Amino acid sequence: MLGLFQGASRLRAALRLLSYTAPFPPTDLQRLCPIQTSARFMSLSRRLHHVGEDGSRSSPASAPDRLPFSRVSVEDLAFFSQILPGRAITDPDLVESSNVDWLKSVRGSSELLLRPQTTEEVSQILRYCSSHNLAVNPQGGNTGLVGGSVPVYDEIILSTSLMNNIHSFDHISGILTCQAGCVLENLSLFLEERDYIMPLDLGAKGSCQIGGNVATNAGGLRLLRYGSLHGTVLGLEVVLADGRVLDCLSTLRKDNTGYDLKQLFIGSEGTLGVITAVSILCPRKPKSVNVLFLGCETFEQLLKAFQLCRGMLGEILSAFEFLDSECMKLLNTHLKLSNPISDCSFYIVIETSGSDPSHDAQKLHNFLEEAMKSLLVTDGTVATEESKIKALWSMRERVTEALTHDGFNYKYDISLPVERIYQLVTDMRQHLGSRAKRVVGYGHVGDGNLHLNVTSPVKDPVLLAAIEPFVYEWAARYHGSISAEHGLGLKKRNYIYYSKPRPAVALMGNIKAMLDPKGILNPYKTLPDQLKQH
Amino acid sequence: MLGLFQGASRLRAALRLLSYTAPFPPTDLQRLCPIQTSARFMSLSRRLHHVGEDGSRSSPASAPDRLPFSRVSVEDLAFFSQILPGRAITDPDLVESSNVDWLKSVRGSSELLLRPQTTEEVSQILRYCSSHNLAVNPQGGNTGLVGGSVPVYDEIILSTSLMNNIHSFDHISGILTCQAGCVLENLSLFLEERDYIMPLDLGAKGSCQIGGNVATNAGGLRLLRYGSLHGTVLGLEVVLADGRVLDCLSTLRKDNTGYDLKQLFIGSEGTLGVITAVSILCPRKPKSVNVLFLGCETFEQLLKAFQLCRGMLGEILSAFEFLDSECMKLLNTHLKLSNPISDCSFYIVIETSGSDPSHDAQKLHNFLEEAMKSLLVTDGTVATEESKIKALWSMRERVTEALTHDGFNYKYDISLPVERIYQLVTDMRQHLGSRAKRVVGYGHVGDGNLHLNVTSPVKDPVLLAAIEPFVYEWAARYHGSISAEHGLGLKKRNYIYYSKPRPAVALMGNIKAMLDPKGILNPYKTLPDQLKQH
């Protein structure tokens, strides 16, 4: 991290240090700014320990009636114990952590957790469940935010956690093939040793699994640079509801032989099939990574800085994130993270990754100089070392965690034309007035993706009624999406019509009926309770 | 273009000129190297004039029997003439160019060409055709290579050529929304004025339409940098077989509300619906573009140069293409294009695009220096001006055109692990011996995509029997794709099982039956005649 000066003089100092002819002097961030650099790698257990003022079951109104699936019998259990020796878990203490999501906002009552190791075992499980009318909840790292990853009633939990083998990595093409249960961070570490990186990165990387990432079409922090999983996932192996194995595990960059079936499963939240293996195109590890943490006074300035940055940083820009001053207060208060710069209305995290450190530094230098000259940013600091980079990143990544300490969270993940994203926060604040404890906005500017959060001391149905459908109507008015990257899961399924027209949702229903005619896969999720026909 | 020196001395001179502190001196390519720079922008009419030693209908064996669709009646014609005044074409001379593909390798016998201007007109057409059991051939720029874009029998041709309005362009996000019939080159010109570019580029850009590009999941020359259309297409409007309009025309970078239906239509070759509008994410126009044309003695050296290049050019690498010495002979002989460097076994076209000309030049300089030092390349030349860049690019882009002058073409578009791609050419040459006039290989190294072409003085069933299924078996043995980017269309539909397992093809059949139960959309294409069940 380069210096911690005051205001413009700090920026000028950063500029001097960024001179691409000079080496970067090491400085001591920890002394000046006590950010916990390990924060980016939260383990599930730690998160479960930290989160959750509200451990109650989601309100009955939000879950539909239990569908007439069979209940697990002694015979069923005997079958599963036989095909998965020691891996058909019924101990309630062990099943418990798979019944509740990490926000502790929804809780199921499953009594059976299955832990297959192979595709063939998943196939046997689903063939059996299909013929015995047993519902199944596929589960990866259980880090989702919309209640999609835990059972609603007594669905059998099918965990991919033990399916964590890497099949192959082609060091020429950068194509990785692995089982669905590989933890994202483990894949990242595997690749970094081989001079590659994963094309996606999330705050939950320490727990989330690649199969779950694909099933939920996870976005995250690198989407701006490397694009969505619809582009980077090259192949999938999927077990269908009836146990048939669909092998689309291509390791080719291009393949136009028929319909691209794998795309159907990307973002289908485990409702169309269980992803058992993934092949994915991985970018080369950048030789140079820099992170800027900047402050702006208005959102208009922030947008202008974004435009300037896209032009001047061009191909090395890999993230452009923001948080507002309310987020900073949460980080200060609940996580004791200090603001590394002076107080501003908005904070920007810009990351660059490139192949030549001196070129990248010069581009950053030119951008900062121009941003200062145009008075777009009022303060800022720069990091080039890995530990310092992680420290700055944690100011953005740990906002979600800080929020969980502020009371009950009403969470929204809205996609909008980028120039609109903060207007929703302002309008919501005005709309709610003193009814909310706090209304905060942060997210991915580069992707037009706002994370809007409203906090309240306790769960508050009156507050909720003031937020919804206001927030969805607002998003729909500006042709936004009511779920940019979190998915619909259990919590948002009935709001789909705000973002998708009826014929589209009806067609989704047809696809579900075609692939899972008995509806055993992740029931009550993604699709609305009533499928309205055109 | 920087100099035309001999061998290593030419490279050293190029290196000197690439020094990032020195300006680039203008030189006169035309005098030394008579490449026609306008060649990249072939119009359809010119191509139709140039191509086609073989104007015959594809062999009966390759087309299935006509399915029992209705024939166009006087009443049908009256209906279409009423809803499309002056745009329901029956004049045989006018219909003719839509009945034949640009290779003149397949020819239909349609008597009716419809030219709608709006989505509502397309909807009316399909609603009518569906209820009257009339088959429809959706047609864009008709530049496909697998017989997918023309009728097989008397299908009504639905041309999108008059649907060429640009709806909107968001200069902040770079998202373009337009009708399906916009010609790719026109979109490129529109965007370049606004400092953006299209994320795809093809040799056929002067004729091909964005709707057809999406329907065929076109790859092209920028895929290495900007990824496939599955990632860059953000939204589609599609008219389904029964006339229903499916509005998935999102202009958002992220939207996880339900299944991503638009993906189904990308690459479905008009068999599942007619794409009427597209929204697509466009990259910023690079401030600096350079093209290197290099020569190697072996394919192993070429692969090593690719690896070196990926590491040293990193984020500015935008294309890595190759052609072999047989291609160069074709360019010399049939198009009178001179080799801009000395004779080599393989030629590489490398393109870089970046935001800082001096940084890019320095990266290129470093790469070239290392490639020479390691003896990976034996000769080369560099272009930085637009006209010279086009001239070098035409050496790669006009190979397809040159081939059409060499006799009958047997064309294959194979995707393989990159280290295998040229082995297929060598093996095919050995396998065919003197039976073929010429066996040539070129294509997209960066994408592992080989264009293998075998020429013969005339159509030769004995030669064909020697090529197929040899070529498909070879590709399948190495887990390749028998169609990397061209699609299956009419010509390759029955070879799908070489690249896709039976359950996958069966599921494709289910999807077709769900979306087009009467099978009126582009019949005889993409899916095999016999759908084998699992």
Digit-coded pLDDT (tens) for A334-373: 999 999 999 999 999 999 999 999 999 999 999 999 999 9
Could you tell me what percent of chain A has a pLDDT over 90? 85
Give the distance from residue B447's alpha carbon to the nearest chain A alpha carbon, in angstroms: 6
User: Residues 5..34 of B with a Cβ closer than 8 Å to A: which?
Assistant: none
- Report the pLDDT value the prediction gives residue B41, as an integer from 0 to 100: 26
Q: By the 8 A CB rule, do A135 and A69 touch?
A: yes
- Report the pLDDT value the prediction gives residue B35, as an integer from 0 to 100: 28
Tokens representing residue B439 in the block: 């066996």
b/e burial code for range A521-531 (CB count within 10 A of at least 16 → b) = bbbbbbbbeee
Q: Which residues in chain B show pLDDT less than 50?
A: 1-7, 19-61, 534
Q: What is the pLDDT of residues B195-252, one digit of tens each?
A: 999 999 998 999 999 999 999 999 988 899 999 999 999 999 999 999 999 999 999 9
Helix axes of A357-373 and A7-18: crossing angle, nearest 10 degrees: 150
Segment A217-222 long-range contacts (CB within 8 Å, at least 24 positions apart): A217/A266, A217/A267, A217/A485, A217/A487, A217/B256, A217/B260, A218/A485, A219/A444, A219/A447, A219/A449, A219/A484, A219/A485, A219/B254, A219/B256, A220/A485, A221/A319, A221/A321, A221/A351, A221/A393, A221/A397, A221/A444, A222/A318, A222/A319
In the sheet with B438-444, reading across from the earlier edge strand, the strands are B379-383, B288-296, B346-354, B317-324, B438-444, B449-456, B408-415
Please report where in the chains the tokens 């294309």 appear, as a residue: B319
β-pairing, A136-139 vs A233-239, is: unpaired
Which spans in B314-467 are helix H? 325-335, 357-373, 386-397, 399-404, 421-432, 461-467
Q: Which residues of A touch B244 (CB under 8 A)?
A: 503, 534
Q: Which SS3 state, helix, strand or coil, does residue B336 take?
A: coil
The answer to whether B419 faces chain A, any CB pair under 8 Å, is yes
Residues paired with B383 in a beta bridge: B291
**C-alpha distances out from residue B45 to A335, B102, B185, Å:** 68, 9, 15
Q: By the 8 A CB rule, do A146 and A253 touch?
A: no
Q: What is the pLDDT of residues A288-342, one digit of tens each?
A: 999 999 999 999 999 999 999 999 999 999 999 999 999 999 999 999 999 999 9
Exposed, middle or buried, B419 (CB in 10 Å: 0-12/13-18/19+)? Answer: middle
Q: By the 8 A CB rule, do B397 and B291 touch?
A: no
Q: Which residues of A touch B449 (CB under 8 A)?
A: 253-254
Q: Report angle CA B400, B405, B406 to the nearest 5 degrees.
A: 95
User: Residues 356..375 of B with a Cβ closer than 8 Å to A: which?
Assistant: 356, 359, 362-363
Tokens representing residue B387 in the block: 């006209």
- Report the pLDDT value the prediction gives residue B369, as an integer from 0 to 100: 95
Q: Is B268 in Cβ contact with A355 (below 8 Å)?
A: no
Of the candidates A172, A363, A486, the beta carbon closest to that of B356 is on A363
Return all residues near A342 (Cβ < 8 A) that are at least 6 apart.
Answer: A6, A7, A295, A378, A379
Half-sphere exposure of B208 (CA within 13 A, CB side): 25
Region A399-411: mean pLDDT is 95
Q: Is B482 in Cβ contact with A263 (below 8 Å)?
A: no
Cis, peptide link before residue A503, omega less than 30° from 0: no
- Report the pLDDT value the prediction gives residue A47, as an integer from 0 to 100: 29
Give the type of residue at A266. I
Domains of chain B: 7-45+286-400 (3.30.70.2190), 50-159 (3.30.43.10), 166-281 (3.30.465.10), 407-499 (3.30.70.2740)
- Report the pLDDT value the prediction gives residue A51, as an integer from 0 to 100: 29
- Report the pLDDT value the prediction gives residue B532, as an integer from 0 to 100: 63
- Report the pLDDT value the prediction gives residue B10, as an integer from 0 to 100: 63
User: Residues 220..279 of A with a Cβ closer than 8 Å to B: which?
Assistant: 223, 227-228, 230-232, 244-248, 250-261, 263-264, 266-268, 272
Q: By the 8 A CB rule, do A50 and A404 touch?
A: yes
Q: Report angle CA A455, A459, A463 to the nearest 5 degrees.
A: 65
Expressed in percent and rounded to 5, the helix, strand and coil fractions of chain A are 40, 20, 40
Per-residue pLDDT at A164 exceeds 50: yes
Residues written for chain A: 534
Torsion, Cα of A298, A302, A305, A307 (10° steps): -120
Helix (H) or strand (E) holding A368: helix A357-373
Q: Is B286 in Cβ contact with A314 (below 8 Å)?
A: yes
Residues paired with B380 in a beta bridge: B294
**pLDDT band at A220; cut points 50, 70, 90:** confident
Q: By the 8 A CB rule, do A146 and A106 touch?
A: no
- Report the pLDDT value the prediction gives residue A18, as an integer from 0 to 100: 56
β-pairing, A449-456 vs A438-444, is: antiparallel
- Distance between CA atoms of residues B128 and A465, nearest Å: 46
- Distance between CA atoms of residues B54 and A351, nearest Å: 55
- Report the pLDDT value the prediction gives residue A22, as an integer from 0 to 100: 31
- Report the pLDDT value the prediction gives residue A21, as an integer from 0 to 100: 34
Return all residues near A530 (Cβ < 8 A) that are at least 6 apart.
Answer: none
**pLDDT band at A15; cut points 50, 70, 90:** low
Tell me the helices (H) and strands (E) count for chain B, helix number first. Answer: 20, 16
Residue of A nearest to B217 (CA): A256
Tokens representing residue B422 in the block: 């040229």
- Report the pLDDT value the prediction gives residue A50, as an integer from 0 to 100: 28
Q: Which residue of B253, B366, B414 to mutate against A (max A Cβ within 10 Å)? A: B253
**pLDDT band at A255; cut points 50, 70, 90:** very high
- Report the pLDDT value the prediction gives residue B14, as an integer from 0 to 100: 60
Q: Which SS3 state, helix, strand or coil, does residue A157 take?
A: strand
End-to-end CA distance of chain A: 57
The answer to whether A415 faces chain B, any CB pair under 8 Å, is yes
**C-alpha distances out from residue B423 to B72, B429, B452, Å:** 49, 10, 11
**pLDDT band at A402; cut points 50, 70, 90:** very high
Q: Report angle CA B483, B485, B491 to the nearest 5 degrees.
A: 50
Helix (H) or strand (E) holding B89: strand B88-89
User: Residues 202..221 of B with a Cβ closer than 8 Å to A: which?
Assistant: 216-217, 219
Give the distance from residue B162's alpha carbon to the nearest chain A alpha carbon, in angstroms: 26
Please report where in the chains the tokens 């943490």 appear, as a residue: A293
